[in-house]
Amino acid sequence: MVSHYLEAIYYMWSEGEPLRSARLADWLGVSRPTVTVAVRRMTGYGMVRMNRRKEIELTPVGRRAAEAIVRRHRIMERWLTDGLGLDWVTADTEAARLEHAVSEVVEKRLYEVLGRPATCPHGNPIPGHSKPLPKEVRLANLKPGARAVVSRVSEVAEREAPLLLAYLHERTLVPGREIALLEVDGVGGTLRIKAGGREVTLSRDTAGKLWVVPTRTK
Task: Assign 185 to helix, strand or coil.
Answer: strand
pLDDT in tens, the chain (218 residues): 788 899 999 988 888 888 888 888 988 889 999 999 999 999 999 999 988 888 999 999 999 999 999 999 999 999 999 999 998 888 888 998 888 888 999 999 999 999 999 999 989 999 989 888 888 999 999 999 999 999 999 887 666 666 788 888 888 899 999 999 999 988 778 999 999 889 999 999 889 989 999 996 55
For position 166, what pLDDT does the model report?
81
Between vectors from CA 212 to CA 206 and to CA 218, what angle results, nearest 5°?
100
- State the CATH number of the domain containing residue 19: 1.10.10.10
DSSP state of 130: -
For position 115, what pLDDT does the model report?
95
**Whether residue 141 sits in one domain with residue 211:** yes
- How many residues appear in the chain? 218
Domain count, the chain: 3
Task: Tell whether 29 is covered by a domain.
Answer: yes
Which residue stretches of the chain are H helix? 2-14, 21-28, 32-44, 60-78, 88-98, 104-113, 155-160, 162-170, 204-207
Task: Assign 189 to helix, strand or coil.
Answer: coil
Question: 204 lies in which domain range?
Answer: 137-216
For position 164, what pLDDT does the model report?
82
Task: Tell whether 63 is covered by a domain.
Answer: no
Which residue, 74, 163, 155, is CA-closest to 121? 74
Final residue in a domain of this structure, among 77, 98, 131: 131
Final residue in a domain of this structure, among 131, 146, 166: 131
b/e code 143-152 from CB counts within 10 Å (16+ = b): eeebbbebbb
**Whether residue 8 sits in one domain with residue 27:** yes
Predicted TM-score (pTM) of the model is 0.85
For position 183, what pLDDT does the model report?
92
